[in-house]
Chains A and B, each alone.
Chain A
Amino acid sequence: MNLKRKKPETTKLNLITILDAVFIFIFFLLMSAQFVEIYKIESEVPQVADMEQKNKDIPLNLILEISKNKILVKSGPNENVYKSLKYSNNKQFHDGLNKIMINLKSNNIEEDVVILRPEKNVAYKEIVKIIDYISQTSTKELVSGKNKQGKVIKTSSLFNKIVFETVI
């Protein structure tokens, strides 16, 4: 009796087809690769329209007056100053601005428009940085608030509809 075990035959995988597919995939990805990641910040030109006010709710009318040394957060139809912040290009300032926006958003959960009013000498990079902190929560935490129907809404986006007031 032959008790010797038969040696298992080693089967070789045919990798030719998978290699072909990988090569095609690499070429496709090489063509569509973007080595500089670019994104967009959307803004709309303000439009004036005659509309009848259906409900008597006071609109938030959030305005940010940006100058080189301070930011005025205004709200309401009479543009009352809600907060005044001394401008400094550091994390503490931007986090403070973000907290104000979170507070405003939780009380006006359905509002998403912010009007920017920068002074002429403000640099573009500063405006973009401010937009960063007013558009969404800095830590992506969720803000919750009740809408007009009393339903609780949770969102991480703050005031992401940017309007530059000076553009007509």
Chain B
Amino acid sequence: MKRKFSNFRDKKSKDMEIDITSLLDILVILLVFLLKSYSASDYRPDIKNNLKMATSRLSKITTSAVTIQVGKDHKVWVEGKLIGKISRGGNVPHQIVKALEANKNVSKDEKIRKQKNREINFIFDKDLSYAVISKVMNTASEQGKRNFNFIVTSK
């Protein structure tokens, strides 16, 4: 038995070689594809369904800020949360004020806090009329938002 075992150990096992050329090819393709879609921006908005964003040639990188979305059906979302609907008369739901207040930046750094609290991102449906847009912008402006960012997709 002892002899048998030592014989087994003495046998030189052949190294198994796996051809990884095809795997490397796939990895390179995947790498190039991912590098193409890499974005330096930390802003990832949760776009609500039925909302079609406007397209633009401009390519300024987005920054994170409180986001208001307004759909074609005049529904309003603040930070992904449904707030209400803009009435036919153009009245913006008053909950929007509360939501903006609740989402105020509380950073310890005063400079960052001030800057972030002045900034707001708007995602409007491309078919919305300016009447609706100006109402939302006015409401945001009344809440101390001075820098408006209109979020668009690339062409």
Residues of A whose CB lies within 8 Å of any CB of B are 15, 19, 22-23, 25-26, 29-30, 32-45, 47, 118-125, 127-129, 131-132, 135-136, 138, 164, 166-168
Cα-based distance from A138 to B58 in the complex (angstroms): 10
User: Within residues 5 to 34 of chain B, which ones have a CB less than 8 A from any CB in chain A?
Assistant: 20, 24, 27, 30-31, 34
Q: Could you say which residues of chain B place their CB within 8 Å of the CB of A33? A: 34, 37-39
Interface residues of B in 28-66 (CB under 8 A from A): 30-31, 34-35, 37-39, 41, 43-45, 47, 53-63
Q: Give 7 A-B pairs besides A39-B154, A123-B127 with Cβ atoms closer than 8 angstroms.
A: A29-B31, A33-B39, A34-B44, A39-B56, A40-B150, A122-B130, A124-B127
Q: A44-B147, A124-B54 are in contact. Are A34 and B37 (CB under 8 A)?
A: yes
Smallest distance from the beta carbon of B70 to chain A beta carbons, Å? Answer: 9
| A167 and B37 form a contact (CB under 8 A) | no
Determine whether B77 belongs to the interface, using a CB cutoff of 8 Å to chain A.
Answer: no
* Complex interface: chain A residues within 8 A of B47 (CB): 36
Contacts of A37 on B, CB cut-off 8 Å?
A: 39, 153-154
Chain B interfacial positions (CB closer than 8 Å to A): 20, 24, 27, 30-31, 34-35, 37-39, 41, 43-45, 47, 53-63, 121, 124-131, 133-134, 137-138, 141, 145-154
A132 touches B31 (CB 8 A): no
> How far is A32 from B20 in the complex, measured between Cα atoms in Å?
27
Task: Please tell me which one of the listed residues A26, A42, A136 contacts residue B30 in the complex, with CB atoms under 8 A apart.
Answer: A26
Contacts A25-B31, A26-B31, A39-B154 known; A120 to B129 CB distance under 8 Å? Answer: yes
- Report how many A-B pairs have Cβ atoms within 8 Å: 147
Identify which of B31, B129, B153 contacts A38 (C-beta below 8 A). B153
**With a CB–CB cut-off of 8 A, which chain A residues contact B24?**
15, 19
Instruction: List A contacts of B37 (CB < 8 A).
Output: 29, 33-35
Query: In the bound complex, do residue A15 and residue B56 qualify as a contact, i.e. CB atoms below 8 Å apart?
Result: no
* Given contacts A39-B154, A41-B152, A121 and B141 within 8 Å (CB-CB): no
Question: Would you mind naming 30 contact pairs between A and B with Cβ atoms under 8 Å apart?
Answer: A19-B24, A25-B31, A26-B27, A26-B30, A29-B38, A34-B38, A34-B41, A34-B44, A36-B153, A38-B41, A39-B153, A40-B63, A42-B149, A43-B148, A43-B149, A43-B150, A44-B147, A45-B141, A47-B146, A121-B130, A123-B127, A123-B128, A123-B130, A124-B126, A124-B130, A125-B127, A167-B137, A167-B138, A167-B148, A168-B141
Inter-subunit contact B56/A167 (CB<8 Å): no
Known: A41-B60, A42-B60, A45-B141. A124 touches B34 (CB 8 A): no
Residues of B within 8 A of A29 (CB): 31, 34-35, 37-38
Listed residue (B20, B58, B151) with the most chain A CB atoms within 10 angstroms of its CB: B58
A25 to B34, CA, bound (A): 10
Please name the residue on chain B nearest to A116 by beta carbon: B130
* Residues of A close to B145: CB separation below 8 A: 45
Evaluate whether A131 and B56 lie within 8 angstroms (CB atoms) in the complex, with A42-B147, A42-B148, A45-B148 already known. yes
